[in-house]
Amino acid sequence: MTEEKKPKIDLKARLGKTSGASIPPALGSTEGGESIPAPAASAPSAVAAAAPAPVAAPQPVLQRFEIDESEVIDARKAGFKQGVTIAMVVGLAALGIGYAAGGASEKSAGRAKATADMVDLAKKAEDAKGKLAALQEKLDAGIKDLGSKKFPESLASDLGAINVDFDGAVLGGRRFSGVSLETTKELVDFATDVAAINERKSVISTLLGKLKEPIEKKFKGGEKAMISYAVVVEGGGKGGSTFASLAPLAKGIEADAALPAVLKVTSAKAQSDVPTYSKGDASGKAIAVKPGTFELSCPDETKGAQAQLIAQLRGLATKLKGEDPTSSPDAKAGLIERAEKLSTALKKAGEGS
């Protein structure tokens, strides 16, 4: 809203109307029939003395009152706006400095956390390397025992006592500022492979418990070689094709015992008696399978238990120490070697080098 401008005050006009100064009579005029003599030579001084004071004296007052009050108000408003503008500029500048300082502070804090995280992860990788090496030693000892026909009694508990603490959980909440992409990827891969090792270690511990009895029985000579399977020959008549089907025996036969004339085999539906083959045409006859040959091709938890367990232990040990570099140009490094390299890379990242 604009304010009404007040009218200017014309003091000259007002002073002209209200002035009480009198004008002296003209020289040589008469008053009351008498003539008034002309003043002496000094009359001009007398007239000047009798004349009213000059009007110019109040001019400073006139100049002060002639200032437009609306201009004063506008000037005050302009000054206020200018002050507000300056304050806003200074405030925004301070805000910008504060934001930059805050961003720099946050970035510095994030880098400090990333450094501490890398140092901590480097230590964990070094600890994982030691546990992986201890795990390999236990596996190698177990393989040696089995090769010497001795069951590794403490292997299951030894494996259970070694926990390689470097799975995906150790990566949660970490900052990776300043860490190379290659190191970050290796961190994820290493944590994934360690989790798989811990799971496989648990499976082997369970397998040791299940195979303990049959393996020990075999080592003590309590388990005799048994004929457990027979091959039944089918077809072959009148130029047709000849086939053979593998069938388990309803009851095992000791390897050194004489074969009966009829073998009782089990099919998917029922048991049947099949003549034992001796000579001539084999069609419709059953041929006993040599003990141990089936287990070599199709091992289960009890048949070929020793070979099966050794294979499991060796497979896990290879994961730890790596493949033989002379066997293949693409031989994979083991987890122990990878843990050492990862620890070194993380230390460098933590040091900012």
For residue range 44-102, what is the model confidence (pLDDT) as tens digits? 444 444 445 555 555 544 444 343 444 444 545 455 445 544 444 444 444 444 444 45
Per-residue model confidence as pLDDT tens digits over 294-343: 877 776 555 567 788 888 999 999 999 998 887 777 888 999 999 999 99
Between 3-12, 29-38, 74-83, 116-125, the lowest mean confidence (pLDDT) is in 29-38
Length of the chain (residues)? 353
**Distance between CA atoms of residues 349 and 343, nearest Å:** 10
Tell me what pLDDT residue 135 has.
95
Residues near 203 by beta carbon (within 8 Å), at least 6 away in sequence:
312
**Where does the pLDDT of residue 177 fall: very low under 50, low under 70, confident under 90, or very high at 90 and above?**
confident
* Burial of 123 (C-beta count, 10 Å sphere; 0-12/13-18/19+): middle
**Where does the pLDDT of residue 255 fall: very low under 50, low under 70, confident under 90, or very high at 90 and above?**
confident
Q: Is the pLDDT of residue 21 over 90?
A: no
**Where does the pLDDT of residue 236 fall: very low under 50, low under 70, confident under 90, or very high at 90 and above?**
low
Enter the pTM of the model. Answer: 0.51
Q: Is the pLDDT of residue 41 over 50?
A: no
* Cα distances (Å, whole numbers) of residue 310 to 134, 136, 145, 165, 170: 18, 14, 10, 26, 32
Tell me what pLDDT residue 67 has.
39
For 101-108, what is the mean pLDDT? 57
Q: Is the pLDDT of residue 22 over 80?
A: no
* Burial of 75 (C-beta count, 10 Å sphere; 0-12/13-18/19+): exposed
Two tokens at 289? 């399978």
**Where does the pLDDT of residue 147 fall: very low under 50, low under 70, confident under 90, or very high at 90 and above?**
confident
